[in-house]
């Protein structure tokens, strides 16, 4: 697959992507565990078919010490015994927050309430931000056909 354009070669897209990166860095692991953030980013990227983001978040998570088995089971998290109840709640929120058009009313109350059992209000806010930002990245990358496979750890940490 060949990219339609290079996001960072475009003055406007590069500027916007840099803001996305800065916004994503506002969610620190003191607010929301880094492992949870990467699991959510990976699952959303899988749903959206963003090869570049799947590549990036698998490599970043591995670099941070995440277990390869857990990463390989993110797409089937409901059937896997390697995730905590809190991570499952975050993954379910991520899925519903990504598939908004598939359900009238968006994220269901039951899903939100389950997440609220495991995360406080600030952590829920952080989850919403992580989900929204990775969806924005995914959409830009899918539209411009950014290929997966070439990401190097730390490449976009400003």
29 CB-near residues (< 8 Å, 6+ apart):
37
Helix (H) or strand (E) holding 61: helix 51-63
- Residue 10, token pair as written in the block: 């475009």
Which CATH architecture is the domain 34-143 placed in? Up-down Bundle (1.20)
Of 140, 157, 150, which Cα lies nearest the Cα of 48? 140
Give the residue extent of every domain in the chain.
Answer: 34-143
Distance CA 22, CA 12 (A): 15
The answer, as to whether pTM is greater than 0.85, is yes
Distance CA 86, CA 92 (A): 10
CA 108 to chain centre: 20
pLDDT in tens, the chain (158 residues): 799 999 999 999 999 999 999 999 999 889 999 999 999 999 999 999 999 999 999 999 999 999 999 999 999 999 999 999 999 999 999 999 999 988 778 899 999 999 999 999 999 999 999 999 999 999 999 999 999 999 999 887 74
Q: What is the pLDDT of residue 104?
A: 74
């Amino acid at each position: 697959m060949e990219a339609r354009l290079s996001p960072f070669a475009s003055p406007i897209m590069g500027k916007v992507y840099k803001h996305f990166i800065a916004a994503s860095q506002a969610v620190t692991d003191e607010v929301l565990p880094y492992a949870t953030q990467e699991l959510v980013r990976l699952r959303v990227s899988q749903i959206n078919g963003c090869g570049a983001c799947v590549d990036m978040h698998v490599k970043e998570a591995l670099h941070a010490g995440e277990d390869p088995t857990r990463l390989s089971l993110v797409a089937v998290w409901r059937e896997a015994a390697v995730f905590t109840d809190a991570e499952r709640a975050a993954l379910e929120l991520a899925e519903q927050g990504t598939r908004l058009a598939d359900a009238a009313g968006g994220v269901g109350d039951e899903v939100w309430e389950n997440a609220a059992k495991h995360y406080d209000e600030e952590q829920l806010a952080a989850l919403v931000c992580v989900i929204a930002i990775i969806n924005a990245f995914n959409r830009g990358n899918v539209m411009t056909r950014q290929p997966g496979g070439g990401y190097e750890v730390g490449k976009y940490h400003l």
